[in-house]
Structures are given as C-alpha cells and as structure tokens.
Amino acid sequence: MGKVARLITGLCMALIFSPASLAQDKSEAGFAEYLTSLRQEAAASGFSPSLLDDAFAGISFRPTVVKSDKNQPERKITLDDYLATRVPDWKVKQAVEKMNEHQALLKEIGAKYGVQPRFIVALWGNESNFGRIQGSFDVLSALSSLAYEGRREALFKKQFMAALTILAEGHIALADFKGSWAGAMGQSQFMPTSFLTYAVDYDQDGKKDIWGTPADVFASIAHFLSSEGWQGDHTWGRQVKVRQNDALNQAGLSKNHYQSLDAWQQLGVRRYNGSALPNVDINASLIMPDGPDGRIYLVYNNFHTLMKWNRSSYFGVSVGYLSDRIKRGY
C-alpha cells in the first residue's frame, strides 16, 4: 500500500472509531434533555426541590469545556521545560513572601496536621498561583457538560452530585461557585469529591471556604496530605546522580522498587552534588521521569502522597522542587 493510501485508510479508521467524532453530534437540545434526567436523579438522591430549582436555573451547556477536555496536550515537554514553566523564579519569590506573610497560621496548621508548611505553600502556588488563578467556569455547568459529553459520564456525574452536596451544605454561594473547566475548585483546586473528603472549616465559621479563606485553604491541603500518609519528619526526595549503570539496571528500572538509602549508596547513587546520600534509615525508590538521560530522583513515601494528589510524576517533582527552593529561601 502506498503512503498516501495508508494515510487515507488511517484517517477513515480514525473517523469511524474515534469517540470524539461521535461526541461532536451532541447538541444543545440534547443537553436540556440530559439535564432533566440529571435533575430526576438528584431529586431521587434527596436534594430538595428548592435547591435544585436554584442550581439548575443557572446551568448551561459549555462546549468550550468539552473542547478543553478533548484537547489536553499529550506530554511532549521535558521535565526541565515543565519545571521552568511551573516553577519560575517569580513564583519561588512569591512563595517565600507568602510563607512569611502567613507564618504563624502555617506553623499552627502544619503542626496540627504534621505537614511542613513549605509543602502546603508549594501546592497552593502550584495549583492556583496562591489563590490568584482559580478558574471562572460555573462548576455545575462545567461538570454537567462533561458528563453529557459522555466519555467519562460516570466520573463527572459523581462530581456533579458532590458539587450539589457542597451547595446544599452552604459552603459557597451559588453565584460564587466557580472552578476550572474540569471542575477543580478554589485555591486548592479540589474536585468536588475531594472537597467532601478533605476540605476543612479551620476558622470555624461554618463554611469550608477553599475559595477565599486562607486558614481553610491551608488546613484543607494539609488534611489531604496527612490523610494520604504524609510523614512530617521526612522530606519528599532528592535529585541524585547515578555513578554506575548497575543501579539503574538492578533496581531503578523495576518500578516502585523500594530499598534503603544505604542500599542505593552501595549501588553508586549519590546526591546531585556528588556527595554521599544522607545516613537516614528510610526507604526510597528511584524515578527517571525522562529516562536515564534526564533528571533522576530518589523519592520517599511523601512523594507517593503527592502522586495521590495528581498522578503525574512531573507534578510531584515540581511541588517537591518548589518546596526545596522555599526552604533555601529562594
């Protein structure tokens, strides 16, 4: 088969089998019908008619949300580029300023949950630029549009119902119920189900306000981490150098292989500056997000907690990296 013929066959196959091409048929009229059934389900699970009247009155189909969901980029950039984008110098500088600004509160909350404040601030900065970029999409419209689109209906319907619960509990006014196009909300960018599990009303005003109350934001982030196994007496990991390929061959390439720092030391793994690994009794695994030629890290249990926040190893490394730079003061 010639090259062009192969290309055309490939395109036809893509058109026939791509769920995305089917989803383009979804219409606004269909969305109205979908909302009717969604409302019936919500009523059946006990939400009051008055809450549903208010909530559904403001919902509209958001094709841009669906478009954003379909156009998520494949990972093409390197970790170096990712870190430069996600953790620019200005963000480090602001993180240090925010640490100072909220010092007493962060210290108190960090002690309560067993989480070092620099990790709370690093997640806060990474998720929303310290609260400045929270997303301006109507949460209910975004989630119902994504559910209607259909590829991940069950997931987004569950988030939609959780969002209704947040409204019913009175944590946020309907007019202020905003988030990212994917439904991630507030300064911690929690999805609604995460909100219900982890959000905290730290200042005890009756509202878990992750949109506007720093105490609630910090405590919610810390509560997530402590609930997911954070160890406040340990850090997240460190960038290393590997002196012999043996280390990579024997252990690094087998995923999630945990062993002591001493064992890694024996295999020729060193701190990035070339000196010996710390003499600490802790297990670590070796990760190479860009393969053996890219940055290599030894990561501890806390890194895996960060991966529960976001499954991207790039994300986990960027949070750890920002926290390290906060610790160094820039």
Q: Which residues are near Ca ion by CB under 5 A?
A: 201, 203, 205, 207, 209, 213, 216
Measured from the CB atom, the residue of 139 and 217 that comes closer to Ca ion is 217
Residue (131 or 237) nearer to Ca ion, CB: 131
Distance CA 109, CA 202 (A): 9
6 burial type by CB count under 10 A (0-12 exposed, 13-18 middle, 19+ buried): exposed
Burial of 5 (0-12, 13-18, 19+ CB in 10 A): exposed
Classify residue 105 as exposed, middle or buried by CB count within 10 Å of its CB (0-12, 13-18, 19+): middle
Residues of 246-256 as b/e, b for ≥16 C-beta within 10 angstroms? ebbeebbeeee
Closest CB to Ca ion among 34 and 195? 195
State the minimum distance, in angstroms, from the CB of residue 201 to Ca ion.
Answer: 4
Q: What is the separation of C-alpha 198 from the centre of its chain, rounded to a whole number of angstroms?
A: 14
At residue 281, φ and ψ (nearest 5 deg) are -85, 85
What is the rounded end-to-end Cα distance, in angstroms, of the chain? 58
What does the buried/exposed string (b/e) look like for 174-211 if buried means 16 or more CB atoms within 10 Å of the residue's CB? eeebbbbbbbbbbbbbbbbbbbbebbbbbeeeebbbbb
Task: Considering the complex, state which of residue 101 and residue 201 has its C-beta at the smaller distance from Ca ion.
Answer: 201
Cα dihedral 266, 267, 270, 272, rounded to 10, equals: -170
Nearest approach in angstroms of CB 216 to Ca ion is: 4
Cα–Cα distance for residue pair 313/36, rounded to 1 Å: 40
**Nearest-approach distance from CB 200 to Ca ion, in angstroms:** 8
Smallest separation, CB 186 to Ca ion (Å):
12
For the chain, state the CA radius of gyration: 23
Nearer to Ca ion, 212 or 292 (CB): 212
Amino acid at site 264 = W
CB atoms within 10 A of CB 239: 15
Nearest-approach distance from CB 225 to Ca ion, in angstroms: 19
Cβ-closest position to Ca ion: 201
Specify the DSSP class assigned to residue 175: G
Find the shortest distance in angstroms from Cβ 139 to Ca ion.
Answer: 18
Least CB distance to Ca ion at residue 206 (A): 7
* Helix or strand run (H / E) with residue 179: strand 178-179
**Which residue type does 29 have?**
A
Q: How far is the CB of 203 from Ca ion (least distance, A)?
A: 5
240 within 8 A of 288, measured Cβ to Cβ: no
146 closest CA partner among 32, 31, 302, 308: 31
Of 144 and 213, CB closest to Ca ion? 213
Q: Write down the least CB distance from residue 106 to Ca ion, Å.
A: 16
Give whichever of 194 and 323 is closer to Ca ion, judged by the CB atom: 194
| Residue among 188 and 285 whose Cβ is closer to Ca ion | 188
CB closer to Ca ion out of 172 and 182 = 172
